[in-house]
Amino acid sequence: MGLGYHIVVCGSLVPDPLQTLEPVPGPALKNEAMLPSVLDPWAAHALYEAAHLAKKAESSKVWLVSLGSRAKLQQLMMTVAQKVPFELAVLDGSASGFTEPTQVAAALAGAIEGIQDLDRSRLLLFGGCASATRDSGVTMQIVGERLGIVDQFLGVDALTIQADGSLKIKERVEGGQYQVSICTGPPAVLAWATGNLPEPPNNPQIGMMNMRTLMPALAKARPVSVTVDDIQFMNVELPGQRRATRIVKDVPVEEIAKEIVAWMKG
C-alpha cells in the first residue's frame, strides 16, 4: 500500500432522531440545546469506512474534523472515541441546520489546511453525502473545491483498493443502479451514502488511546461563526417542467452528448 493514506473525515453531531423537536419562530428548534446528540449517521459511515481502510493500509492515519458546540462534542466523543482510532480537529460553532453550507465548508477547509503533518498527496477526504441537519448535499463538494481536489465521488457505497493502488469506487446513481469508477489515487473526495460496514463495538482500550489527543484538541477548539445573515432570498418558486423527447437510432454517444450540452446551453 505504499505510504498509506491520510484520511480526513468531516462530521458533526446531530440531535438524537428518537427525541421530539418542537419548531419555534426564528427559525429555531425548542429545547434543541437540551437534546442528547449522536454522530451524524452519514458521517458515522464515513468514519467507520476510514478506520477500516486505515487498518488495511499500513502507515495510514485518520482525522475527524468536526464543527459543533465544544461542550456537546466533548460529551459525544466519550462514546465515539471507543469505536475507532482517530485524531480530532474541533471548530466551536453552531451545528444547527440553519446555516449556510458555503460558510460551513469554508470553516472545514480552513481546519483541514491547519492539520499538522497532513500530506495532501495522500489525502482522502471522507464525509457524508448529506447530513441529518445540514441536508444541502453540497458541503463536501465545496470543501473539496476549496482544497483543490477535483476527483469527487458522491453517494459512495463501496471503496476497493486495487493491486496497482488505484481506487475502485461504487456510487449510487438514479434508478437503483450504481456507477463504478476507477481513480488512480489520492487526493480524492468520497461522500458516503451508507457504506457496507456495521458499527464497530465499543473498545475501552481504543477510547483511552484516543482521549490522550481528544481532550487537548477540544481545549484548543477555535470558535467560528456560521450563520445565514449574509444570505438573502429574493424569490422562491417551483422549478418549471420542460420535456423535449426525440427518438433516434444508431447515433454515436459523442453526438448524443454534444446535443445534450447544446440543449442545456440553450
Report how far apart, in Å, the C-alpha atoms of 219 and of each of 42, 91, 100, 118, 236 are. Answer: 26, 11, 26, 21, 42
Are residues 128 and 43 in contact, defined by beta-carbon separation less than 8 angstroms?
yes
Say how many domains are in the chain.
1
pLDDT digits (tens, 9 = 90+) for 135-192: 677 888 989 999 999 999 988 888 999 988 899 999 888 777 888 999 998 899 999 8
The pair phi, psi for residue 219, each rounded to 5°, is -65, -30
pLDDT digits (tens, 9 = 90+) for 25-49: 665 555 656 677 888 888 888 999 9
Handedness of CA 93, 96, 98, 99 (dihedral sign): positive
In a domain, 43, yes or no: yes
pLDDT digits (tens, 9 = 90+) for 219-263: 888 877 776 666 666 777 777 777 777 787 888 889 889 988 988
Report d(CA 195, CA 49) in Å as an integer. Answer: 7
Among 71, 70, 53, which residue's Cα sits nearest to residue 62? 53
In a domain, 260, yes or no: no
Domain interval for residue 178: 6-223
In a domain, 264, yes or no: no
In a domain, 251, yes or no: no
Report how far apart, in Å, the C-alpha atoms of 50 and of each of 34, 79, 85 are. Answer: 31, 17, 10
In a domain, 215, yes or no: yes
In a domain, 173, yes or no: yes
In a domain, 165, yes or no: yes
> At what angle are helices 101-113 and 139-146 packed, to 10 degrees?
40
CATH code of the domain containing 193: 3.40.50.620
Are residues 139 and 101 in contact, defined by beta-carbon separation less than 8 angstroms?
yes
